Amino acid sequence: MGLSSVLVGYGYHMWIPLVISIALVLIGRWVFINAQVKIKGPDFPLGFAYSLDMFLPLIRLEEKHYNDCEILDWRKQYLVFHKLLGWVLSFYVIAAVSGLTKL
């Protein structure tokens, strides 16, 4: 049982990455909601939108999440992990959709 089986069900169970993504975005919301941040510009809360924006690779929902916000505490390390999980899951979904996991 490999990573392909767990993440995308060998391309046959595409609901698995959706459930994993929702869970990771909700965990990220819980982590980022009380983060110590240095904000340049107008104040805005970190939460679901920030977690979703950081999880989705190649898609920018709000430019202020990238330019106006810097996390200062331990959550900065989690942010790197959160983004990495978004990239890994995205690559597995692309591989599954293209049929590479069914070989």
**Cβ 93 vs Cβ 4: under 8 Å:** no
- What's the pLDDT score for residue 43? 64
pLDDT at position 62 is 75
**21-28 own/partner pairs: CB under 8 Å, 24+ apart:** 21/55, 21/89, 24/55, 24/82, 24/85, 24/86, 24/89, 25/51, 25/52, 25/55, 26/51, 27/51, 28/52, 28/54, 28/55, 28/78, 28/82
pLDDT value at residue 94: 82
Task: Specify the pLDDT at position 41.
Answer: 61
For residue 46, what pLDDT is reported? 76
pLDDT, position 23 = 92
Q: What residue ranges of the chain have pLDDT lower than 70?
A: 1-12, 38-45, 68, 100-103
Q: Provide Rg for the chain, Cα atoms.
A: 15
Q: What is the pLDDT of residue 84?
A: 92
Dihedral angle, C-alpha 9, 48, 39, 87, nearest 10 °: 10
pTM: 0.75
Tokens 């919301």 map to which residue? 29
